[in-house]
Amino acid sequence: MAGGGARLLGLIIDLVLASLVTTLFVTPSLQDPAVMQTFNLWSVGVWAAITVIPAAFFGFTPGMAVVGIRVARLDGAQMIGVWRAVVRATLTFVIIPAAIRNIDGRSWLDRLTGTVVIRMR
């Protein structure tokens, strides 16, 4: 199973990637709160897209691929599916369910969706 450090690093990479992609469409301006609010909203949307779509069909986000971890279903199915990926992204956005883990290293969002994060290498 993947440790908390790899999971956190994967999340940070995904967040940075989402911000970089968003800068292609919305130019951030730290002096203008309205522009930054728009930038942040678009960044959340981009983050959701780069988190849900690859995780649903391939089992990992770009950040997870970089650190060598992936999401797997406990029942052995190939894809985790869209609803599991959406629930995982939503609970990750809330942070607390993703941060609290039990003795076997699975977070609340893993237990709710019947998944586990494992090392690929």
Domain assignments of the chain as residue spans, ordered by start: 4-119
The model's pLDDT over 32-53, given as tens digits with 9 standing for 90+, comes to 999 999 999 999 999 999 999 9
Find the DSSP H helices in 24-107: 33-58, 62-67, 82-94, 96-99
| Amino acid 17: pLDDT | 98
- Angstrom distance (rounded) from CA 79 to CA 59: 6
| Amino acid 21: pLDDT | 97
Q: Collapsing DSSP states into helix, strand and coil, what is residue 35?
A: helix
Identify the CA nearest to 53 among candidates 26, 24, 12, 84: 84
Buried b / exposed e along 28-57 (16+ C-beta atoms within 10 A): eeeeeeeeeeebeebbeebbbebbbebbbe
The model's pLDDT over 55-114, given as tens digits with 9 standing for 90+, comes to 999 999 999 999 999 999 999 888 999 999 999 999 888 887 777 877 777 888 888 899
Long-range pairs, 98-104, Cβ under 8 A, ≥24:
98/7, 101/4, 104/1
CB 62 within 8 A of CB 104: no
